[in-house]
Amino acid sequence: MSHEVRDPADIPPFDHARAEAAVRELLAALGEDPDREGLRETPARVARAFAEVTSGLRQRPEDVLTTTFDLGHDELVLVRDIELWSMCEHHLVPFTGVAHVGYIPSESGKITGLSKLARLVDLYSRRPQVQERLTTQIADALMEILEARGVIVVIEAEHLCMTMRGVKKAGARTITSAIRGQMHDAATRSEAMSLIMHGTR
Protein backbone atom coordinates (compact mmCIF):
# COMPACT_ATOMS: atom_id res chain seq x y z
CA MET A 1 0.00 0.00 0.00
CA SER A 2 1.53 3.26 -1.08
CA HIS A 3 1.27 6.48 0.90
CA GLU A 4 2.88 8.39 -1.94
CA VAL A 5 0.84 11.27 -3.24
CA ARG A 6 0.41 10.77 -6.98
CA ASP A 7 1.79 13.28 -9.40
CA PRO A 8 -1.01 15.33 -11.00
CA ALA A 9 0.31 14.23 -14.41
CA ASP A 10 -0.42 10.58 -13.54
CA ILE A 11 -4.02 11.21 -12.51
CA PRO A 12 -6.56 10.41 -15.22
CA PRO A 13 -9.32 12.90 -16.06
CA PHE A 14 -12.35 12.86 -13.77
CA ASP A 15 -14.61 10.01 -14.94
CA HIS A 16 -18.10 11.52 -14.77
CA ALA A 17 -19.90 8.40 -16.01
CA ARG A 18 -18.20 6.21 -13.42
CA ALA A 19 -18.88 8.68 -10.61
CA GLU A 20 -22.56 8.91 -11.59
CA ALA A 21 -22.91 5.13 -11.68
CA ALA A 22 -21.28 4.91 -8.25
CA VAL A 23 -23.64 7.50 -6.72
CA ARG A 24 -26.64 5.73 -8.25
CA GLU A 25 -25.40 2.50 -6.71
CA LEU A 26 -24.90 4.19 -3.33
CA LEU A 27 -28.46 5.55 -3.39
CA ALA A 28 -29.72 2.05 -4.15
CA ALA A 29 -27.61 0.67 -1.29
CA LEU A 30 -29.31 3.13 1.07
CA GLY A 31 -32.63 1.61 0.04
CA GLU A 32 -33.60 4.69 -1.95
CA ASP A 33 -35.09 4.63 -5.42
CA PRO A 34 -32.56 6.42 -7.63
CA ASP A 35 -35.30 6.91 -10.23
CA ARG A 36 -37.71 8.82 -8.01
CA GLU A 37 -38.18 12.36 -9.14
CA GLY A 38 -36.09 14.17 -6.53
CA LEU A 39 -33.13 11.85 -7.03
CA ARG A 40 -33.10 11.51 -10.80
CA GLU A 41 -30.52 14.23 -11.36
CA THR A 42 -28.64 13.56 -8.13
CA PRO A 43 -25.93 11.22 -9.48
CA ALA A 44 -24.98 13.76 -12.16
CA ARG A 45 -25.03 16.60 -9.62
CA VAL A 46 -22.94 14.73 -7.09
CA ALA A 47 -20.46 13.77 -9.82
CA ARG A 48 -20.10 17.44 -10.79
CA ALA A 49 -19.71 18.46 -7.16
CA PHE A 50 -16.99 15.86 -6.60
CA ALA A 51 -15.21 16.92 -9.78
CA GLU A 52 -15.14 20.43 -8.37
CA VAL A 53 -13.99 19.60 -4.85
CA THR A 54 -11.26 17.25 -6.10
CA SER A 55 -10.01 19.46 -8.92
CA GLY A 56 -6.79 20.09 -6.98
CA LEU A 57 -5.72 16.51 -7.72
CA ARG A 58 -4.94 17.63 -11.25
CA GLN A 59 -3.22 20.89 -10.41
CA ARG A 60 0.39 21.59 -9.62
CA PRO A 61 1.52 24.27 -7.20
CA GLU A 62 3.77 25.73 -9.94
CA ASP A 63 0.60 26.49 -11.91
CA VAL A 64 -0.70 28.62 -9.06
CA LEU A 65 2.43 30.32 -7.79
CA THR A 66 2.97 31.82 -11.21
CA THR A 67 3.24 35.51 -10.51
CA THR A 68 6.47 36.00 -8.68
CA PHE A 69 8.37 39.23 -8.44
CA ASP A 70 11.71 40.16 -7.04
CA LEU A 71 10.78 43.02 -4.76
CA GLY A 72 13.84 42.72 -2.62
CA HIS A 73 11.51 42.31 0.36
CA ASP A 74 13.16 39.69 2.50
CA GLU A 75 11.12 39.86 5.71
CA LEU A 76 8.11 37.94 6.88
CA VAL A 77 4.97 37.97 4.72
CA LEU A 78 1.95 36.47 6.46
CA VAL A 79 -1.67 36.03 5.37
CA ARG A 80 -4.04 35.12 8.18
CA ASP A 81 -7.48 33.55 8.18
CA ILE A 82 -7.57 32.07 4.69
CA GLU A 83 -10.89 30.25 4.61
CA LEU A 84 -10.59 26.62 3.60
CA TRP A 85 -12.90 23.76 2.71
CA SER A 86 -11.43 20.34 2.23
CA MET A 87 -12.64 16.77 2.38
CA CYS A 88 -11.43 14.16 4.84
CA GLU A 89 -10.17 11.14 2.96
CA HIS A 90 -11.46 8.76 5.62
CA HIS A 91 -15.15 9.64 5.37
CA LEU A 92 -15.37 11.93 2.31
CA VAL A 93 -17.09 14.62 4.35
CA PRO A 94 -15.85 18.19 4.64
CA PHE A 95 -13.49 19.73 7.09
CA THR A 96 -13.45 23.48 7.20
CA GLY A 97 -11.54 26.21 8.91
CA VAL A 98 -8.76 28.68 8.30
CA ALA A 99 -5.16 28.55 7.21
CA HIS A 100 -2.49 31.04 8.22
CA VAL A 101 0.41 31.07 5.80
CA GLY A 102 3.64 32.96 6.32
CA TYR A 103 7.02 32.89 4.63
CA ILE A 104 10.37 34.58 4.69
CA PRO A 105 11.30 35.23 1.06
CA SER A 106 14.49 34.07 -0.60
CA GLU A 107 17.66 36.11 -0.25
CA SER A 108 16.84 37.83 -3.54
CA GLY A 109 13.38 38.70 -2.23
CA LYS A 110 11.36 36.44 -4.54
CA ILE A 111 7.76 36.92 -3.53
CA THR A 112 4.37 35.96 -4.93
CA GLY A 113 1.01 37.69 -5.18
CA LEU A 114 -0.89 37.47 -1.89
CA SER A 115 -3.90 35.86 -3.57
CA LYS A 116 -1.61 33.08 -4.76
CA LEU A 117 -1.16 31.93 -1.17
CA ALA A 118 -4.93 31.49 -0.92
CA ARG A 119 -4.96 29.72 -4.30
CA LEU A 120 -2.30 27.35 -3.00
CA VAL A 121 -4.46 26.56 0.03
CA ASP A 122 -7.39 25.90 -2.31
CA LEU A 123 -5.34 23.66 -4.58
CA TYR A 124 -4.29 21.31 -1.80
CA SER A 125 -7.70 21.53 -0.09
CA ARG A 126 -9.48 20.30 -3.20
CA ARG A 127 -8.22 16.76 -2.80
CA PRO A 128 -9.20 13.91 -0.50
CA GLN A 129 -7.06 14.99 2.42
CA VAL A 130 -5.95 14.71 5.98
CA GLN A 131 -5.24 17.96 7.74
CA GLU A 132 -1.63 17.07 8.51
CA ARG A 133 -0.77 16.44 4.86
CA LEU A 134 -2.61 19.56 3.73
CA THR A 135 -0.48 21.58 6.14
CA THR A 136 2.87 20.12 5.08
CA GLN A 137 2.10 20.25 1.35
CA ILE A 138 1.45 23.99 1.51
CA ALA A 139 4.66 24.55 3.45
CA ASP A 140 6.79 22.40 1.14
CA ALA A 141 5.44 24.04 -2.03
CA LEU A 142 6.38 27.49 -0.72
CA MET A 143 9.87 26.37 0.26
CA GLU A 144 10.45 24.76 -3.10
CA ILE A 145 8.83 27.09 -5.58
CA LEU A 146 9.50 30.44 -3.94
CA GLU A 147 12.83 29.22 -2.60
CA ALA A 148 11.64 30.71 0.66
CA ARG A 149 14.10 30.81 3.52
CA GLY A 150 11.41 29.88 5.99
CA VAL A 151 7.73 28.98 6.12
CA ILE A 152 5.02 28.64 8.73
CA VAL A 153 1.61 27.15 8.03
CA VAL A 154 -1.00 26.81 10.76
CA ILE A 155 -4.39 25.30 10.04
CA GLU A 156 -7.32 25.30 12.42
CA ALA A 157 -10.27 23.24 11.25
CA GLU A 158 -13.43 21.49 12.29
CA HIS A 159 -14.03 18.03 10.85
CA LEU A 160 -17.61 17.18 10.04
CA CYS A 161 -16.76 13.51 10.51
CA MET A 162 -16.30 14.39 14.18
CA THR A 163 -19.35 16.61 14.49
CA MET A 164 -22.18 15.26 12.34
CA ARG A 165 -21.41 11.62 13.08
CA GLY A 166 -19.10 9.39 15.13
CA VAL A 167 -17.98 11.05 18.37
CA LYS A 168 -20.20 14.10 17.61
CA LYS A 169 -18.01 16.73 19.23
CA ALA A 170 -19.24 19.94 17.70
CA GLY A 171 -16.78 22.80 18.09
CA ALA A 172 -13.70 20.63 18.54
CA ARG A 173 -11.02 22.22 16.43
CA THR A 174 -7.86 20.54 15.23
CA ILE A 175 -4.73 22.65 14.93
CA THR A 176 -1.79 21.54 12.83
CA SER A 177 1.37 23.41 12.00
CA ALA A 178 4.34 23.03 9.70
CA ILE A 179 7.53 24.98 10.18
CA ARG A 180 10.38 25.05 7.70
CA GLY A 181 13.83 26.59 7.37
CA GLN A 182 14.60 29.82 9.22
CA MET A 183 11.16 29.77 10.81
CA HIS A 184 12.70 27.31 13.26
CA ASP A 185 14.54 30.25 14.77
CA ALA A 186 12.82 30.83 18.11
CA ALA A 187 12.42 34.61 17.82
CA THR A 188 11.13 34.47 14.22
CA ARG A 189 8.71 31.70 15.02
CA SER A 190 7.38 33.45 18.07
CA GLU A 191 6.86 36.69 16.07
CA ALA A 192 4.95 34.73 13.40
CA MET A 193 2.88 32.83 15.98
CA SER A 194 2.01 36.02 17.79
CA LEU A 195 0.87 37.67 14.51
CA ILE A 196 -1.17 34.58 13.70
CA MET A 197 -2.86 34.55 17.09
CA HIS A 198 -3.33 38.25 17.71
CA GLY A 199 -2.70 40.07 14.45
CA THR A 200 -1.17 43.48 15.03
CA ARG A 201 -3.79 44.69 17.47
Residues that bind ligand GTP (CB under 6 A): 88, 90, 130-132, 159, 161-162, 166-167
Catalytic-role residue among 59, 88, 100, 137: 88
Question: Phi and psi of 100, rounded to 5°?
Answer: -115, 125
Residue 89 beta carbon to ligand GTP: minimum distance, rounded to whole angstroms: 7
Question: Phi and psi of 13, rounded to 5°?
Answer: -60, 155
Any catalytic annotation for residue 16? no
Catalytic-role residue among 91, 156, 158, 191: 91
CA–CA gap between residue 93 and residue 87 (Å, rounded): 5
For β-strands 150-159 and 174-181, DSSP reports them as: antiparallel
Residue 3 beta carbon to ligand GTP: minimum distance, rounded to whole angstroms: 13
Catalytic-role residue among 59, 129, 131, 137: 131
Q: Which stretch binds Zn ion (CB under 5 A): 3-11, 12-20, 99-107, 154-162?
A: 154-162
Say if residue 16 carries a ligand binding annotation: no
For β-strands 128-129 and 110-112, DSSP reports them as: unpaired
Residue 128 beta carbon to ligand GTP: minimum distance, rounded to whole angstroms: 10
CA–CA gap between residue 180 and residue 145 (Å, rounded): 14
CA–CA gap between residue 81 and residue 100 (Å, rounded): 6
What are the binding residues for Zn(2+)? 88, 91, 161
Which residues are catalytic, by number?
Answer: 88-91, 131, 159, 161
